[in-house]
Structure formats: structure tokens, C-alpha cells
Amino acid sequence: MREQTSEWTEDTVGLVPTMGALHAGHRSLVERARAGNTKVVVSIFVNPLQFGAGEDLARYPRPIEEDLEMLRELRVDAVYMPRVSDMYPEGATTRVVVGAVAEPLEGASRPGHFEGVATVVTKLFWAVRPDRAYFGQKDAQQVAVVKRLAADLDTGIEIVVCPTVREPDGLAVSSRNVYLSPEERRQAASLSRALRAATSAYAGGERDPAVLEALIRNVIEGEPLARIDYVKAVDPGNFTSPGSLATVAVRFGGTRLIDNHDLAQPWPG
């Protein structure tokens, strides 16, 4: 991969890191990268370091032929598909720890997750040497972690954040949505309904994070299959102090979904 990008001396390179199982959200990232660069690289790597004990590493979808067909259609210039043994050779022990922004919420619920994310993203940056890297707003805390990493390690890489892509009923597009039963899928739309309701309350003048969080909880708890992990309104820069970014994690059966929205911004559409 490094040899390939080293030949693109007159080009700008955009990287879209993925774990495969590509969907409309990934498509939007690739299209944004295509519009902003002369070369586009998409990585596909199901990273074992970011899966915790009991999570869905073994059953994570890997429809590689369908993924490659989409990427051919989108005219990407290279697909980087390293093996686990390429990324983590025997004896490799170095990990990248970003610090405070990685500790609350997803960091607390999934210990080691962001260490795995930061480590693999650093390795992808070294392999591809992109000018820009593209991430989705749906994974808002991951975006904050990657921004911190890119700045702290002096990568010179611009982190481009793209809007969350949603289904017609508002559910954020995710590779894990395929795990939902029809009834779980119906009830999962409560996440976007809750965030939309909080956005309306914020627009009406409500600023108390506790009130906004309670509103979100009340909507989601109206669905019998929902099991809330967390609901927090936080500062998007540090994910610790109170702020306007409403972020949620909820389980429906065995599937854990996340979503977020900056309540200071209009609801999309």
C-alpha cells in the first residue's frame, strides 16, 4: 500500500477506513473523498482490537464480493485489505492510547475499544499516507478520538467528518442493523425520534442537559425491547462536560446501536 501511494506524487489522496459490510453511509464517505481528491483508497479490515469480550467479532458481516462491487462502481483507486497477521504480527504489543476524550461513554461501556480504534487508524495512516481521511458523524466519539490522535501525532492529515446517513424512518444506517429482527428494527427508530424531539425542545429554548436527557430516555423507554446503555448531552470536544451533543447507546435484543445529534443544529431534512 505504501509503495502504491508513494507513486502518486502529484495527487491528493483520500482515505476511507471501513470494516467492510459497506452501506449507504460508506458510499457517502467515498463520494465525498472522490469529490475532494484525485486518488481514493478504501481500507477494509475487521479490527479485532476494537471488539471486546462477548462482542460480535466472529459474526460481524463480511460480504467482501458485494463490497468490492460497490467500490468498483464508485471508482476507487485502491482497496487496502490487510490480514490480521499483517496488522498485528506475532509479538506486536504497541498500542495507541489517546486519553481523556476516549474514556467516557463508549470508552467506559467498551473498555479497550478506542485503544483498538486508535491503534488501527494510526497504522492505516502510516500505510496509506493520505492527505485527508473521512469518517461519519454517527460515530461522533470516534471522530473526536481520531481528531485528537491526528493532531497530537502531527500527522498533517485533515479529518473530514460527513453527516450521518439515515433510513427513511430516521434510523442511522449501520452494518449492525442487519442483526435486528423486524420488530427490533421497528422499535429502533425510536432513537431518531428521541433525538428529533430533543432537537425541538432545544430549539424552543430548553438548555438543561438533565431535562433533554430525560426527554430522550422517555421516548426510547416507550419501546419494550429497548435497553438503554447511556443517554448523555455532552460537549462534542471532550465528551465529558455538559453540552449540546446528544448521544445515545441502546440495545435491542443482542444488537447495540449508537446515534447522536448536535441539538443546536436543525434536524436533517
By annotation, the residues acting in catalysis are 26
Burial class from Cβ neighbours inside 10 Å (0-12, 13-18, 19+) for residue 2 reads exposed
With left for phi above 0 and alpha for psi between -120 and 50, is residue 250 left, alpha or beta?
A: beta
3-state secondary structure (DSSP) of residue 185 = helix
Task: Give the other-Cβ count within 10 Å of 82's Cβ.
Answer: 17
Distance separating alpha carbons of residues 239 and 159, to the nearest angstrom: 18
Residue with grid cell 426527554, as numbered in its chain: 215
Q: What share of the chain is helix, strand, coil (3-state, %, to 5)?
A: 40, 20, 40
List 134's β-bridge partners, or say none: 160
